Structure 1
Amino acid sequence: MSQTRFGNQIKQATLTPFEKEVIDGCLLGDGTLTKSGKEYRLRIEHALKDREYVSWKFEKLKRLCISDVQYVSNHDSTRFGTVGHPEITVLRQKWYRPVKQVPEDLVLTPIMLAIWFMDDGTKHRDTVDISVHSFSEQSLHLLQKQVSLLGIKTTVNSDGKGKRLYILKKSYPSFKRLTKPYILKCMERKLP
């Protein structure tokens, strides 16, 4: 079957709830939506040292892809992209108004939190924090509310480069319990 016919079949498929969660988790972090013909597609790219993580994301979304993970020599990274898809185009309209913002109807799940953390998180003494540099104040309030609904208390502080969402030390056990099933071994370096 040609790539075009295969791509058209993918475009007609409905995204599963799990695929939507993975995509939303990626969009909280380093994922971007780029134009592909009439539709938008998800593009994932991480440093070469995180190729196992890229492969993990690819495995979760490979039903939406026609090509495998690729090495990008001029960036020393690995990446993949989904096909342009009508439902991803809808996500583009929700996430970019006109700049990237958290959709008001976003319901944060443990896997979304884990992906967001693996993309933008780091250890901070006895707890963790997540970069939120690119989000507006309104988006930060929405994110804090969603994280608190998972039983995790946070504060937003600046670190000189921008804002970070700090998981309070007393909430770190809850964060770890919720995200542990999804944190890859190669990403455990980000945990205290």
Structure 2
Amino acid sequence: MLYCPKCYFYIIIIFSSIYFIIIYNNSNNTIIKRINDSRKRIGPHNKEIISIIYGSLLGDGHAEYRKQSNGTRISFSQESNHYKYLIWLHNIVSSHGYCNTTVPKIQSRIGDKGKIRYIIRFHTYTYSSFNEIHNKWYVNNKKTVPKDIKEFLTPIALAIWTINDGSRSGNSIKWSTNNFSYEDCMYLSYVIYDLYKIKTSVISAGKKDQYVIYVIKESIPILRDLIKDYIISEILYKLNY
């Protein structure tokens, strides 16, 4: 491509999935700009990374469609008190080559009523092949549980979901599935039992059309054994350690 307003020349060099634009100007300066083309990022994807994404989307994760690049990226975000968890997660995602290796830093944001929140987050690269994930998880702009959740609800996905949205409730654990429909919660409950024989119950969250999933006390040891290798020390209290 050649472009010359004010005598600037653009040369595009393509290496695999990365586009480089070399810009020459009248001062004989050279500027190199990299453009990532999501259409070149098509997989195939490692099952572990999809499991990590699915576990995150059950919790606070978000699949963001980016119209400009016609692709989707996955955003991972936590409050600053979960810093060690997000760094652990970032190490896994970056080691698979799905995001840059720059360690995320705590940032401040203005929340409700002007309250300052401290959060830490990072994003994957944008992939056109992640559009399929976006389409499965978001129906009419509402997050929903996809029908293939059974394939990717692995122990690491369960661990990430528990870290994100799990909390102690007496001698049990509940997953805060408030944003999912009753049908989605029942389907999750069925899949969890079918895969791991973990017994759960779907209970009203006390607000209209909001539900949470409780792990039956007798099934806590099963869940604990499944996910203990992925749980960092700061989260062990959720598993009655």
TM-score, normalised via structure 1 length: 0.90
Query: Match of 2:98?
Result: 64
Contact 1:31–1:44, Cα closer than 8 Å, also in 2: yes
Is 1:164 matched up with 2:212? yes
106-115 vs 39-48, which deviates more? 106-115
Within the candidate set 46, 49, 52, 1:16 is matched to 46
Within 1, Cα distance between the matches of 2:187 and 2:41? 31
Contact 2:175–2:213, Cα closer than 8 Å, also in 1: yes
Q: With CA pairs under 8 Å and 6+ residues apart, which has the higher RCO, 1 or 2? A: 1
- Deviation string 1:11-69 (CA, Å, 9 cap, x unpaired) is 25432111011011101111001123211100011011111111111112111113632
Within the candidate set 159, 173, 192, 1:128 is matched to 173
Within 2, Cα distance between the matches of 1:131 and 1:19? 23
Count of aligned pairs between the two proteins: 192
Query: Match of 1:110?
Result: 155
**CA positional deviation for 1:71:** 2.5
Within 2, Cα distance between the matches of 1:34 and 1:112? 19
SS at match of 1:45: strand
Residue type of the alignment partner of 2:85: Y
SS at match of 1:44: strand
> Which 5+ residue runs of structure 2 have no aligned equivalent?
1-17, 21-32, 110-116
Within the candidate set 76, 80, 92, 2:134 is matched to 92
> Which 5+ residue runs of structure 1 have no aligned equivalent?
none
Query: Match of 1:79?
Result: 121
Within 2, Cα distance between the matches of 1:60 and 1:95? 22
Within 2, Cα distance between the matches of 1:173 and 1:67? 35
Within 1, Cα distance between the matches of 2:106 and 2:129? 27
Within 2, Cα distance between the matches of 1:146 and 1:170? 18
**CA positional deviation for 1:5:** 5.6
Contact 1:6–1:66, Cα closer than 8 Å, also in 2: no
Query: Match of 2:114?
Result: none
60-69 vs 95-104, which deviates more? 60-69
Residue type of the alignment partner of 1:154: T
- Shift >3 Å, 4+ stretches: 1-10
- Deviation string 1:84-124 (CA, Å, 9 cap, x unpaired) is 11222110011111211111121122111111111000011
Contact 1:121–1:128, Cα closer than 8 Å, also in 2: yes
Normalized per residue, the structure richer in strand is 2
Contact 1:7–1:83, Cα closer than 8 Å, also in 2: no
SS at match of 1:129: strand
- Go from structure 1 to structure 2 and tell me whether the alpha carbon gap of 1:163 and 1:137 turns closer, same or farther (over 3 Å shift): closer
- The two structures, once aligned, show a CA RMSD in angstroms of 2.2
Normalized per residue, the structure richer in helix is 1
58-67 vs 40-49, which deviates more? 58-67
Contact 1:132–1:165, Cα closer than 8 Å, also in 2: yes
